[in-house]
Amino acid sequence: MTRPETGPRAPHLGVLELLKARGPATIADLARRLDLTGEAVRQQLVRLAAAGFVAARRERRGPGRPVARWALTTGAEQLFPKRYDDLAVALLDGVSDTLGPDATRRLLASLTEERVRAWEPRLRGLSLRRKLDRLKDLYVADDAHTSVEARQGELRLVERNCPFLDVALKRPALCSVTVSALSRLLGYQVERVEQFQAGHGRCVFRVRLDRPLRPGTPRFAPEPAVSGRPS
């Protein structure tokens, strides 16, 4: 689903805001309130419907043809402000406050296991470099903001857009899930040498080729503190 463009040339935002504020409306209602022609509104609704943000509901009012009233779809909710980060932080804190700090560690370990189980079949039989290339999609499929760097005999996964950043900034322990999962999936210790929390503007995960995982290595480990200076 594609977000509609924003900015001065985005009159359809008025359509979305009006449907959000007042509920389903006809083209005539929208045109009157937005001071646009009915055809202009219709064209905007066609584009928004193609993107999955609006849909027409046919209603019969007395004799004659049914009237089409346009409404937002569930998919359009992503276009309006949400506070998922506050909810996630509250849940993490609630686990710790109610069940104790060790419960949070068990929760993060469980999330790590779930991620490893999901990704192991997709990486089976691949070389280390190919695994890392595939893991660019660890958070988001076809992620254009994550890349692999090979320099001075090192392999690094560079993440420039964290989809969980608001939560990770407040509770960086969440990042231990990614570090532990990458270590398990690659078979080498992974360390985060740059991080958003330290002001680097990105996270860099370095694969320690000199530290292969050995039997008995903890399946999940909290991430150690990272220096605030770029490496």
Query: What's residue 128's pLDDT?
Result: 96
Would you mind telling me the total number of residues written for the chain in this entry? 231
Q: In the chain, what are the domain boundaries?
A: 12-79, 84-212
Q: How confident is the model at residue 57 (pLDDT cuts 50, 70, 90)?
A: confident
Q: How confident is the model at residue 64 (pLDDT cuts 50, 70, 90)?
A: low
Query: What's residue 172's pLDDT?
Result: 92
Quote the CA–CA distance of 212 and 218 in Å, as a whole number: 13
Residue ranges with strand state E in 84-202: 146-151, 154-159, 188-194
The predicted-structure confidence for 123-174, as pLDDT tens digits, reads as follows: 999 999 999 999 999 998 999 999 999 988 899 999 999 999 999 999 999 9
- Closest alpha carbon to 27 in 41, 12, 11, 44: 41
Query: What's residue 12's pLDDT?
Result: 56
Domain 84-212 is classified in which CATH homologous superfamily? Trafficking protein particle complex subunit 3 (3.30.1380.20)
CATH code for residues 12-79: 1.10.10.10
* Average pLDDT score, the chain: 89
Q: Do domains 12-79 and 84-212 have the same CATH topology?
A: no
Across the strands, what pairs with 57? 69
Query: What's residue 152's pLDDT?
Result: 82
What the block records as the tokens of 88 is: 């996630």
